[in-house]
Structure 1
């Protein structure tokens, strides 16, 4: 699915017109203008049994009906389909958030089943064209009466804006602490960046239930050729961000080369570390600027994102990680100058494992891109043991959509990475030498200066590091590390650096992957 479509449609989906009474409505939940089907018993345990049973059957691809009509509902035509206010699920219920539904279209042809749950009973929400305000001559009017929905979004107070959107495959995302959509979470990633095509498991059905205090419980059934799953996602929107508790039961149909658990999908085109890639007037363009990891041993790692010359996969081995996330640390508007999509307001997303995840690795996939419309960054957890047919997994984790890490580091954190010509200004610059300047926020560095014995510990997978020095930046609370790297030949160089005073680490560990051909 082209990322441009998902980004644009989610951003443009807001808005609605006047509503007129629907004729001949069947069973209706209190305060709803939605047509519902008959009830049936429902629970998460029943959903898990359904997913387990489904895994024992041959995979069946979703049926796409009226494909030619849906193909005609492009971006502009989809914008004209506005869900009507008065059809909002729980629109007048102060205890439950309002929910509106996305229409099918060119980029979202496969319908998803929608259900509402109350008192252990689930009723299907039946599609009706009257739920949508559309021009009289709109092509969608030719669709079958039971064509179905593409997804849903959860409205905030007063039903003016949304804070959670689910649309396409198993993607979902929230507006975070700044009411601005950015990166996405996914239910599962299967064989991302492997020798064969990636598989995109999709949520085929959703069951919506109020969680109290304006929260929402989403039950979802996941299906793909390799795996099925039952998900329970409890979402709350407290002050300062959005928190989602996820329970997932997975049932494997066939062996999987790379099973990505709790995957996050983002975009990084260029930042201060690779300005040479810029083809746009804006200083930086990215939804996230780094991967943050809190290992099982307590080490804090910061890996700035890059836009590599070819697809790169990096694995960070760990045992029972405390958390990881794709973060947007740079919050200065002047570093983006974008008053349309506001990259400075994009949420950071932190994955907090609940329970024992065992041995495995946080894996980072970076894909080359030449524009901001493509999601080219993926991060997830991969179990160490091979994933075989018949395997079952019960997992729990918490997603934090917020401005920064929910568990702040007690040591100095990286705030900028810059790269330039090596050598000394005013003197001939040696070929094949690059200078790195890495800034830390200075946390825990109070009272220290150049004479305090603070040193930068730098290591490179190849090449020669020279001139490493750490010092406080004048008139700021920051510290800076500068060093030169001399390297010959193509291929990436892995760098590792942290601040130390005696035997004590004063900073998180900066890890970077540098490509010698990045700069001429």
Structure 2
């Protein structure tokens, strides 16, 4: 970004001619000079994609890091003292309903990101000024060069809404190609990413492309904002369009054109990234005072053949990648089902963390996502500060250098899945010592207790007990098995208990569901058991 005065257009809110600059003038804050912009250049999504395609044929150039020695001094504490001034919020006075504020650069966000406003087929780059930010007089950020740039952006609640937009935002783009939303329960949690390249590949380092340019267009709809993002990395260039709707939760309608510079071993599409430390399934003695700590507790899947699946998450002893083969999946996502505050007892509100559901859409050719797999990567962690879970779609065939992918999908940031199955759902997975109560517990036997809730279980005739269908990739099931209604007075709340006898430390893939005759009553429970 240039700070050359002769190249930039300084827009002065009250003095600028409405005929000359149109509604962009209304984007200025209350300060005399408002935001400052570069001169306009043509912009359209088709032109944006063409430019991304051209960049993919050129050598990769990483985004700028202005004054790295200064950025090293803006640690987390110093960065937290830097606040964007509401008076300089984009669209603070319209025309769009959602004001936009910006994040400052710092130690953990060193790469400068370009910000642009789109209007009437043109875009103008916003020029960074220190005056946009409140910061202490001795802040190391004051030593950054002119025009240093921004780190990211966030979208505030509508100016005319019931909440004060100055203190409430609903989407944030910050760091690499990560973005988040507060979802339905107004609490940030897991993240989405543009792509995931070579996650957990033994002989390759994971690549983290960056969103390097954002183009912000205030949509006419009162509940929608459109954002265009350029993503760049050594192996890829991507042109994204996000149509984001603020309603009950947040829905992002995404189109992405990806241009491949180099082939990746694991090419992850629509990745979701979350944190799972422990839950009611398994908790080490005295590891922490809280009963559970996780942003998500399971991977929900709706397979192309219509099967509904729930894979309970693990904090495994080593990095594990599970693949669920499919063709044209109908949806998947990392979900937070446990909504009871007493199960966490934490003021950071894990019970309100959003669920993120990915809905694949047909591409420009009318086809779905084809053959591939939903892959779940679980990484060991001993703290809640690490995002250690990734779920993504991986095509069956490698995506070669020179290829182009044109994708469409929706992200639903909600409390629950937007497409209920109508079946009973897995409510909890619990492990314990095997054997029968009141008798000596045999070694090497693990008890599993899986809770199911709702759906057809609620309307079972009195005295009718569901049947259990259970299988495992290895080991044998012990003689003890129990299916019973949970004695809590909640209709349709059942639990199945069974023992597994297994030798060795290799993981065991398990699946189970409740049925009545040949009719399934519940979704299918999946679990990867690590003997201990």
TM range (shorter): over 0.9
Q: Is 1:483 aligned with 2:495?
A: no
**Worse overlay, 446-455 or 170-179:** 446-455
**Worse overlay, 154-163 or 74-83:** 154-163
CA contact (8 A) 2:513 2:522 kept: yes
Q: Distance in 1 between matches of 2:284 and 2:453?
A: 25
CA contact (8 A) 2:9 2:39 kept: no
Pick from 215, 230, 253: which aligns with 1:207?
215
**Worse overlay, 275-284 or 424-433:** 275-284
Q: Is 1:287 aligned with 2:295?
A: yes
Aligned runs of 1:362-441 on 2, under 5 Å? Answer: 362-441=374-453
Q: Distance in 2 between matches of 1:169 and 1:321?
A: 27
Once the two structures are TM-superposed, the CA of residue 63 in structure 1 deviates from its matched residue by 2.7
CA contact (8 A) 1:456 1:468 kept: no
Q: Distance in 2 between matches of 1:393 and 1:267?
A: 29
Q: Distance in 2 between matches of 1:25 and 1:78?
A: 29
Once the two structures are TM-superposed, the CA of residue 446 in structure 1 deviates from its matched residue by 3.0
Aligned runs of 1:221-370 on 2, under 5 Å? Answer: 221-239=230-248, 241-276=249-284, 279-339=287-347, 341-355=348-362, 356-370=368-382
Structure 1 unmatched ranges of 5 or more:
1-23
Q: Deviations over 1:327-377 (max 9, x none)?
A: 0000000000012x1000000000000111111100000000000000000
Q: What secondary structure sits across from 1:369 in the alignment?
A: coil
CA contact (8 A) 1:154 1:163 kept: yes
Pick from 206, 213, 217: which aligns with 2:226?
217
Q: Distance in 2 between matches of 1:73 and 1:446?
A: 56
Q: Distance in 1 between matches of 2:454 and 2:233?
A: 47
Q: What secondary structure sits across from 1:445 in the alignment?
A: helix
Q: Is 1:27 aligned with 2:11?
A: yes
CA contact (8 A) 2:358 2:411 kept: yes
Once the two structures are TM-superposed, the CA of residue 448 in structure 1 deviates from its matched residue by 2.5
RMSD (CA atoms): 1.4
Once the two structures are TM-superposed, the CA of residue 278 in structure 1 deviates from its matched residue by 6.0
Once the two structures are TM-superposed, the CA of residue 163 in structure 1 deviates from its matched residue by 0.5
Once the two structures are TM-superposed, the CA of residue 450 in structure 1 deviates from its matched residue by 8.2
The change in CA–CA distance for 1:448 and 1:188 in structure 2 (over 3 A counts) is same
Q: What secondary structure sits across from 1:275 in the alignment?
A: coil
CA contact (8 A) 2:354 2:415 kept: yes
**Worse overlay, 270-279 or 351-360:** 270-279
Q: Distance in 1 between matches of 2:448 and 2:217?
A: 51
Q: What secondary structure sits across from 1:30 in the alignment?
A: helix
Q: Is 1:116 aligned with 2:129?
A: no
Once the two structures are TM-superposed, the CA of residue 277 in structure 1 deviates from its matched residue by 6.8
Q: Deviations over 1:200-250 (max 9, x none)?
A: 0111100000122142111011111111110000111102x1000000000
The change in CA–CA distance for 1:269 and 1:223 in structure 2 (over 3 A counts) is same
Question: Which residue of structure 2 aligns with residue 168 of structure 1?
Answer: 175
Q: Deviations over 1:399-453 (max 9, x none)?
A: 0000000001111000111000110122110000011111111321234268535
Q: What secondary structure sits across from 2:46 in the alignment?
A: helix
The change in CA–CA distance for 1:330 and 1:226 in structure 2 (over 3 A counts) is same
Q: Distance in 2 between matches of 1:168 and 1:210?
A: 23
**Worse overlay, 155-164 or 96-105:** 155-164
Q: Deviations over 1:66-92 (max 9, x none)?
A: 101110000110111110010000012
Question: Which residue of structure 1 aligns with residue 193 of structure 2?
Answer: 186
Q: Distance in 1 between matches of 2:463 and 2:246?
A: 47
Once the two structures are TM-superposed, the CA of residue 27 in structure 1 deviates from its matched residue by 2.7
Q: What secondary structure sits across from 1:485 in the alignment?
A: strand
CA contact (8 A) 2:9 2:38 kept: no
Structure 1 moving runs of 4+ over 3 Å: none
CA contact (8 A) 1:27 1:37 kept: no
CA contact (8 A) 1:453 1:502 kept: no
Aligned runs of 1:116-155 on 2, under 5 Å? Answer: 116-155=117-156
CA contact (8 A) 2:267 2:398 kept: no
Q: What secondary structure sits across from 2:317 in the alignment?
A: coil
Taking structure 1 as the reference length, what is the TM-score of the superposition? Answer: 0.93
CA contact (8 A) 1:458 1:465 kept: no
Once the two structures are TM-superposed, the CA of residue 165 in structure 1 deviates from its matched residue by 0.5
Q: What secondary structure sits across from 1:54 in the alignment?
A: helix
Q: Is 1:493 aligned with 2:497?
A: no
CA contact (8 A) 2:95 2:218 kept: no
Q: Distance in 1 between matches of 2:73 and 2:261?
A: 35
Q: Distance in 1 between matches of 2:122 and 2:143?
A: 33
